[in-house]
A and B are shown apart, each in its own frame.
Chain A
Amino acid sequence: QKEVEQDPGPLSVPEGAIVSLNCTYSNSAFQYFMWYRQYSRKGPELLMYTYSSGNKEDGRFTAQVDKSSKYISLFIRDSQPSDSATYLCAMRYGNKLVFGAGTILRVKS
């Protein structure tokens, strides 16, 4: 079983839709949870960073962590074509940082 599971997609949505991206994990030791966005021909950039369970909001983005279910989500409201990218979840305890495989998101205008 992989430590972090993420559906590779692609996920295609119309402009203005609410997008839900998800990851599940198996190691309960993970304490810090991140979402990275990677545009084509670019490196990943940190989008959201959360600690433990709960929600964190930043503009149109909301990160949600449910440690009891070992499940994290990223919600994007009012999605835009510029949100089209690969979204990678990542999680960490101590020195160990583990990434998901990434979900390709396409927002169509």
Chain B
Amino acid sequence: ETGVTQTPRHLVMGMTNKKSLKCEQHLGHNAMYWYKQSAKKPLELMFVYSLEERVENNSVPSRFSPECPNSSHLFLHLHTLQPEDSALYLCASSQVWTSDTDTQYFGPGTRLTVL
């Protein structure tokens, strides 16, 4: 596997379910990100981890809970979601999130549908 991988690619869940999204980067990067992409809206940054520490949390509801066990893996735990949470969830990684010239590499995303 190369680059940034995400599983599952598609997920349908009810509002009372608990599920997790997984991201893995094979680039040796130190920073990882979760974004939400909704139709016709800009990418919304949700969480940033740098060297396994959460450094940014952009007013995301507590029903989304991130976890970064090591620099290669990132999880997004989901519980009691709402239909408006249906979107494409993208994971990204980069070398140094504080650098002006830092470039983010994205995974293919998980298409989430909440019924």
Contacts and interface: CB of A to CB of B under 8 A. Distances in A.
Interface in B12-71: 40-43, 45, 56
Contacts of B98: 94-95
A2 B97 CA distance: 23
Nearest to A95: B98
Interface residues of B, number: 20
Given A43-B90, A94-B100, A101 B106 contact: no
Interface residues of A, number: 25
A101 B100 contact: no
B82 interface: no
Nearest to A34: B103
Main secondary structure of the interface of B (DSSP, over half): loop
Nearest to B9: A41
A43 B43 contact: no
A5 B55 CA distance: 27
Contacts of A32: 100-101
A101 B107 contact: no
A31 B90 CA distance: 25
A93 B108 contact: no
B42 A49 contact: no
B36 to A, nearest CB: 11
Contacts of A6: 42
Interface of B: 4, 40-43, 45, 56, 90, 92, 97-98, 100-101, 103-109
